[in-house]
């Protein structure tokens, strides 16, 4: 039996649906017992001649002096040498605790199935690893629309999935609302048509809308997903549903009725006979560490199945980028261990929340049409006509925004605009979009 | 015409062979004019509300205080905010100069076709991006053997190429010698059998053998490659040959007869009607920055063709990891600008060279059978019997090495062993391997 077949067999027993969810590549990939394993076995050898890095006669890192001087407060080992495949074990354990700290109770934390998070080079990397492991050409991939443009590269051009766009929100008598009914109907339609594998991407808080489900909506969504296989039209061969939860903007929920707990807790309770839940999160936004490139990919499954999925994810990373930024991991690990982490995060969030509140207030006093927003860094404003044309006109007046042609709208990223500059910006938006001046 | 077709058309005109070399994915990938482009256009807008990161009211980075304190000598912007897709332009330009500084003359530097290097998250990433851009299932991929185990994941399982293993060295009357004749014969064989695309990986200095071609061998190899399409058996439809030069250990050539200049200069002179040359290099080993994760992928072609290949490589990176480590780029850029860079590198290289010299001397005084080595961090020692079994016996005696079952040998990485500990290590190797004690 090949090494890949060996771990596949474990997964087939421990979480059959997760095995079925694997792409052709996902089934083939495994971590060879090569240099990293042999180096780990020799970690305490008197003569460790296993690994292609350099250490001095005391076993310390040998950085160029000028580089070391610039980060003299960081142990050179933690910045200049390699970290283990999959990331530092202490960091991965600390991030797992960080996730579980959101549980409603100690019991919920204990009962929640959560793998050891695999460290990735940022959140995009977590998304692309999940895409590689679970998407084939015939996988039905459901992506929200409007969406971050990179989703089309990651899940479409790169992973070659069959893309279905579902509306993230739909108009109702109360204005735009989170779309649950239509999303479920679309997935049921795919099931009825004989879909074998479904890959659903949920992005909460959402980019570009800046919307996060309320508690009520979160419960409704998970209940609706749970009911996908119920009812009289129950199909004979049920497909497998992989849900990828993209939580890049997690922790940036600005309203009290937002579901602040990661949706992962609710999703992880879905029947494992049909579902595999993947969570992508990380330090980029949540820890304001945009340049650090540290994200995580986690799975909701048993420890036996987790070990296999972790190995496959790590092998995927080894074959695409090998090791991760050491200093990024070191700084994040220290932050997670700091007693005042929450205070420091909150200090930054207060700045962004104030910008959110000012923008919301100012928009409400205009004739602009905009989508509901309560989270993350964004608001979406509708325009009549070509958004690209409006964007260029705004640029001429000193306002840089992003056009969303598919939605006939503009994305306003308020996280980079001082609160006291927002009123004038909104005035220019109104002048340009409504008055056409 | 789609955006991908537009840039493909440019490439078809500017370097037709490079267009033919592209994989199916490589033909489809392009960089959408999305957030990064719109953000770049708004860089100087008074209200820049384009990008999903956070800046304070002065436009500065907003790191968590505890992270910023640890690297207080680095401008927070350069560590905590995003860098442009493809990497910092100043860094890319500086790395290009760094490569060209090896030219034999000012004229050679000016005449050498070299794209702006695309920054990657380490050298593995450069290899995997090249593999994605140029390898399909029917691409004939020539990999040296023995080789770094990750090559099989990158070029085989990930890229799904048709792998041909060529012997890096072959026995001769003078012992093991660089294999040129047999490699060329294998490629000619593939051409004769109607191969459409050939992808040849050259790894100099080589891992695991620690061998780098001499000047004479470098000239012979390039002449032999150049002659691939000559002779009476000239095929009617000539395949396209992509050469990927993996120079992870460049700069670590310890003997005066080694070809110290990057082979890229010689390879870039090959006929562009048949060849596309890619170069992967970076800071990992060359700048002793193992944890920094900064590598580069460059192409030998005209500026028009380079722009297309750079865009495709950057799109590939955007869809796999998006941005790169900011602080890694910042530290490397500073190092490249430092006047004493060469001295600082040489200081470290002197330590490794001394270990090389001691190991070489000690090995020569044993009965051990080992491969010629003159570069990088490695030596390969032959064993009778199962290398895994010998490795475990060595581990019990405190010596950690890496087994190479395919070559019946062990890889000794001397870069992490103090020079004064090497004689005893070699003694244990001899005792264990020769005397079986």
Three-class HEC string of chain B:
CCHHHHHHHHHHHHCHHHHHHCCHHHHHCCCCCCHHHHHHHCCCCCEECCCCCCECCCCCECCCHHHHHHCCCCCHHHHHCCCCCCCCHHHHHHHHHHHHCCCCCHHHHHHCCCCCCEEECCHHHHHHHHHHHHCCCCCEEEEEECCCCHHHHHHHHHCCCEEEEEECEEEECCEEEECCHHHHHHHHHHHHCCCCEEEEEEECCCCCCCCCCEHHHHHHHHHHHHHHHCCCCCCCCCCEEEEEEECCCCCCECCCCECCCCHHHHHCCCCCCCEEEEEEEEHHHHCCCCCCCCEEEEECCCHHHHHHHHHHHHHHHHCCCCCCCHHHHHHHHHHHHCCCHHHHHHHHHHHHHHHHHHHHHHHHCCCCCECCCCECCEEEEECCCCHHHHHHHHHHCCEECEEEHHHCEEEEEHHHCCHHHHHHHHHHHHHHHCCCC
Cβ–Cβ below 8 Å for A153 and B72: no
Instruction: Using DSSP bridges, classify how beta strands B378-382 and A140-145 pair: parallel, antiparallel or unpaired.
Output: unpaired
Question: HSE on the CB side for B117, CA within 13 Å?
Answer: 27
Nearest CB partner across the interface for A74, out of B32, B70, B123: B70
Residue of A nearest to B322 (CA): A124
Q: Is the pLDDT of residue B238 over 90?
A: no
Written out in words, the top-level CATH class of the domain with range B341-433 is alpha beta
Subunit contact B52:A348, Cβ cutoff 8 A: no
| Structure token pair of residue A140 | 């039905």
CA distance, residue A293 to nearest chain B CA (Å): 6
Confidence band (pLDDT; 50, 70, 90) for B246? very high
A154 → chain B, closest CA residue: B319
Q: What burial class does residue B19 get, using C-beta atoms within 10 Å of its C-beta: 0-12 exposed, 13-18 middle, 19+ buried?
A: buried
Determine whether the interchain pair A121/B321 forms a contact, defined as Cβ–Cβ distance below 8 Å: yes
Q: Helix or strand or coil: residue A400?
A: strand
Q: Name the minimum distance, in Å, from the CA of A302 to any CA of chain B.
A: 27
- Chain A within 8 Å of B292 (Cβ-Cβ)? yes
Provide the chain B residues 108-127 that lie in CB contact (below 8 A) with chain A: 120-125
Task: Return the DSSP state at A162.
Answer: E
Inter-chain touch B56–A351, beta carbons under 8 Å: yes
Q: How many of the other CB atoms lie within 10 Å of CB of B20?
A: 17
Would the CB atoms of A321 and B322 count as touching at under 8 Å? no
Interface test with B, best of A49, A375, A378 (most B CBs within 10 A): A49
Contact call for B66 and A338, based on CB within 8 A: yes
Q: Which residue of A has its CA nearest to B423?
A: A47
**Token couple for A302:** 């048993």
Nearest residue of B to residue A338, measured between CA atoms? B66
- The beta-carbon contacts of B359-363 under 8 Å, at least 24 apart in sequence, are B359/B412, B359/B414, B359/B422, B359/B426, B362/B422, B362/B423, B362/B426, B363/B426
Give the C-alpha separation, A138 to A152, whole Å.
Answer: 16
Residue A141 CB contacts under 8 Å (≥ 6 apart), including other chains: A135, A155, A156, A159, A161, A162, A163, A164, A199, A201
Work out the angle at residue A224's Cα, subtended by the Cα atoms of residues A263 and A210, and round it to the nearest 5 degrees. 45
Residues 90-109 of B with CB under 8 A from A: none
Count CB pairs under 8 A between chains A and B: 391
Identity of the residue in B128, B287, B328 whose CB atom sits nearest the CB atom of A325: B328
Residue of B122, B347, B417 lying closest to A323 (CB–CB): B122
**CA separation for the pair A429, A148 (Å, rounded):** 22
Backbone angles phi, psi at B184, to 5 degrees: -65, -40
Residue A299 parent element (H or E): strand A295-299
> How far does A224 lie from chain B, in Å, by closest CA?
31
Q: Is A303 on the interface with B (CB under 8 A)?
A: no
- Please give the DSSP secondary-structure letter assigned to residue A55: B
pLDDT at B4 over 80: yes
> Is B167 an interface residue toward A (CB < 8 Å)?
no
* Chain A residues in contact with B400 (beta carbon < 8 A): 38-39, 41-43, 45, 47-50
What confidence score (pLDDT) does residue B230 get?
Answer: 79
Q: Is A339 helix (H, G, I), strand (E, B) or coil?
A: coil
- Give yes or no for A427 touching B (CB within 8 A): no
- Classify burial at B46, counting beta carbons within 10 Å of its beta carbon; exposed 0-12, middle 13-18, buried 19 or more: middle
Express each pLDDT in B72-128 by its tens digit. Answer: 999 999 999 999 999 999 999 999 999 999 999 999 999 999 999 999 999 999 999
The candidate with the shortest Cα–Cα distance to B326, out of B68, B93, B80, B91, is B80
For residue B274, count CB atoms less than 10 angstroms from its CB and return exposed for 0-12, middle for 13-18, buried for 19 or more.
middle
Instruction: Report the DSSP beta bridge partners of residue A170.
Output: A177
Is residue B235 very low, low, confident or very high in pLDDT (cuts 50, 70, 90)?
A: low
Q: Indicate the pairing of strand A47-48 with strand B399-400.
A: parallel
Report phi then psi at B257, rounded to 5. -90, 0
Question: Which pLDDT belongs to residue B30?
Answer: 95
CATH of domain A89-337: 3.40.640.10
pLDDT at B174: 86
Query: How crowded is the C-beta side of A58, counted as CA atoms within 13 Å?
Result: 5
Of A79, A290, A340, the CB nearest to B80: A290
What is the pLDDT tens value at each position of chain A, 437 positions in all?
Answer: 899 999 999 999 999 999 999 999 999 999 988 888 888 899 899 999 999 899 999 999 999 999 999 999 999 999 999 999 999 999 999 999 999 999 999 999 999 999 999 999 999 999 999 999 999 999 999 999 999 999 999 999 999 999 999 999 999 998 899 999 999 999 999 999 999 999 999 999 999 999 999 999 999 999 999 999 876 555 567 889 999 999 999 999 999 999 999 999 999 999 999 999 999 999 999 999 999 999 999 999 999 999 999 999 999 999 999 999 999 999 999 999 999 999 999 999 999 999 999 999 999 999 999 999 999 999 999 999 999 999 999 999 999 999 999 999 999 999 999 999 999 999 999 999 998 87
Cross-chain Cβ contact A49/B351 below 8 Å = no
B 17-56: CB under 8 A from A: 25, 28-29, 32, 34-35, 38-39, 41-43, 45-56
B5 CA to chain A: closest CA distance, Å? 14
> Would you tell me which residues 210-249 of chain A have a C-beta closer than 8 angstroms to some C-beta of chain B?
249
pLDDT, tens digit, 9 for 90 and up, residues B181-225:
999 999 999 999 999 999 999 999 999 999 999 999 999 999 999
Helix (H) or strand (E) holding A381: strand A378-382
**Chain B, nearest residue to A349 by Cα:** B54
At residue B37, the pLDDT reads 85
Average pLDDT along chain B = 95
Q: What was the pLDDT predicted at A110?
A: 96
pLDDT of residue B20: 95
pLDDT at res. B234: 56
| Interior/surface letters B98-132, b for 16+ CB within 10 angstroms, e for the rest | bbbebbeeeeebeebbbbbbbbbbbbbbbbbbbbb
Question: Is A345 an interface residue toward B (CB < 8 Å)?
Answer: yes
Q: Is the peptide bond before B398 cis (omega within 30 degrees of 0)?
A: no
A117 burial type by CB count under 10 A (0-12 exposed, 13-18 middle, 19+ buried): buried
Q: Is the pLDDT of residue B237 over 90?
A: no
Task: List Cβ neighbours of A377 (8 Å cut-off, separation of 6 or more).
Answer: A207, A210, A249, A252, A285, A352, A413, A414, A415, A416, B52, B54
| Minimal-distance CA residue of chain B relative to A152 | B319
The interface predicted TM-score of the complex, written ipTM, equals 0.96
Asked if B319 and A403 come within 8 Å (Cβ–Cβ), the reply is no
B159 touches chain A (CB under 8 A): no
Q: Do A327 and B54 touch (CB under 8 A)?
A: no
Instruction: Give the distance from CA A153 to its chain's centroid.
Output: 15
Q: What is the CA radius of gyration of chain A?
A: 23
- Are B411 and B404 contacting, i.e. CB atoms less than 8 angstroms apart? yes
Alpha-carbon distance values, A178 to A170, A224, A280, A372 (Å) = 6, 13, 21, 9
Domain boundaries, chain A: 89-337, 341-433
Q: Which two tokens stand for residue B260?
A: 């110290």
Exposed/middle/buried for A24, CB within 10 Å: 0-12, 13-18, 19+? exposed
């Amino acid at each position: 039996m090949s090494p890949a077949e060996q771990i596949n067999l474990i997964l087939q027993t421990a979480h059959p649906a997760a095995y079925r969810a694997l792409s052709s590549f996902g089934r083939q990939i495994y971590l060879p017992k090569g240099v990293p394993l042999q180096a780990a076995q020799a970690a305490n050898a008197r003569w460790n001649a296993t690994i292609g890095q350099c250490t001095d006669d005391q076993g310390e890192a040998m950085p160029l002096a000028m580089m070391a001087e610039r980060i003299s407060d960081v142990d050179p080992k933690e910045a200049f040498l390699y970290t283990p495949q999959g990331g530092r074990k202490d960091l991965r354990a600390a991030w797992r605790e960080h996730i579980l700290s959101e549980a409603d109770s100690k019991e919920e934390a204990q009962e929640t199935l959560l793998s050891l998070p695999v460290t990735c080079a940022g959140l995009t990397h977590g998304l692309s690893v999940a895409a590689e492991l679970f998407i084939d050409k015939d996988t039905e991939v459901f992506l929200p629309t409007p969406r971050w443009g990179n989703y089309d590269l990651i899940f479409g051009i790169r992973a070659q999935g069959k893309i279905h766009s579902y509306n993230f929100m739909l108009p109702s008598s109360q204005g735009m609302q989170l779309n649950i009914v239509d999303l479920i109907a679309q997935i049921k339609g795919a099931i009825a048509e004989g879909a074998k594998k479904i890959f659903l991407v949920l992005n909460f808080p959402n980019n570009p809308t800046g919307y996060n489900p309320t508690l009520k909506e979160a419960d409704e969504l998970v209940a609706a997903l749970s009911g996908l296989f119920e009812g009289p039209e129950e199909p004979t061969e049920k497909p497998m549903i992989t849900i990828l939860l993209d939580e890049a903007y997690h922790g940036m929920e600005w309203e009290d009725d937002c579901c602040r707990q990661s949706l992962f807790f609710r999703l992880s309770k879905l029947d494992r006979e049909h579902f595999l839940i993947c969570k992508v999160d990380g330090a980029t936004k949540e820890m304001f560490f945009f340049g650090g490139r540290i994200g995580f990919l986690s799975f909701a499954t048993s420890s036996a199945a987790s070990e296999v999925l972790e190995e496959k994810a790590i092998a995927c990373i080894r074959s695409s980028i090998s090791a991760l930024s050491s200093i990024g991991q070191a700084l994040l690990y220290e932050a997670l261990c700091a007693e005042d982490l929450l205070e420091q995060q909150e200090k930054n969030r207060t700045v962004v929340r104030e910008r959110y509140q000012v923008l919301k207030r100012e928009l409400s006093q205009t004739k602009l049409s905009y989508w509901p927003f309560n989270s993350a860094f964004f608001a979406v404003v509708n325009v009549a006509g070509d958004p690209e044309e409006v964007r260029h006109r705004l640029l001429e007046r000193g306002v840089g925004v992003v056009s969303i042609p598919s939605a006939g709208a503009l994305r306003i990223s308020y996280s980079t605009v001082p609160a006291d500059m927002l009123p004038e910006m909104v005035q220019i938006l109104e002048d340009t979009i409504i008055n056409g001046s």
